[in-house]
């Protein structure tokens, strides 16, 4: 645990990796609510769409909060 955990109580993260280029992005989250996940995923998906690419594969750890929701 970090020394400043009380100042930054974020313990969840989303790690996105482009399989082709290995470009990596990490977002740190306070909780695992589906709304927080979607607030990060929507701009990412829009960015990929604007480059005329498709998200071909979505891998996850089978977390119930992130991907198993009506928003996703």
E strands, 1-72, are 12-17, 24-29
pTM: predicted TM-score of the whole model, two decimal places: 0.59
Q: What is the largest CA-CA distance in the chain?
A: 43
Q: What is the pLDDT of residues 39-48, one digit of tens each?
A: 888 888 888 8
Q: What is the rounded (10 degree) CA torsion for 44, 26, 34, 70? A: 40
The pLDDT, as a whole number, for residue 35 is 81
Tokens standing for 1? 């645990």
Average pLDDT of the residues in 56-68: 68
Q: What is the pLDDT of residues 9-33, one digit of tens each?
A: 667 888 888 888 888 888 888 887 7
Q: If 0-12 CB within 10 Å is exposed, 13-18 middle and 19+ buried, where does residue 66 land?
A: buried
Tokens standing for 49? 């769409």
């Amino acid at each position: 645990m970090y020394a400043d955990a009380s100042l930054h109580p974020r313990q969840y993260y989303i790690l996105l990796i482009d399989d082709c280029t290995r470009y990596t992005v990490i977002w740190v989250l306070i909780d695992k609510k589906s709304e927080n996940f979607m607030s990060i995923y929507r701009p990412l998906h829009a960015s990929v769409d604007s480059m005329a690419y498709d998200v071909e594969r979505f891998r996850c750890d089978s977390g119930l909060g992130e991907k198993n929701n009506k928003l996703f």
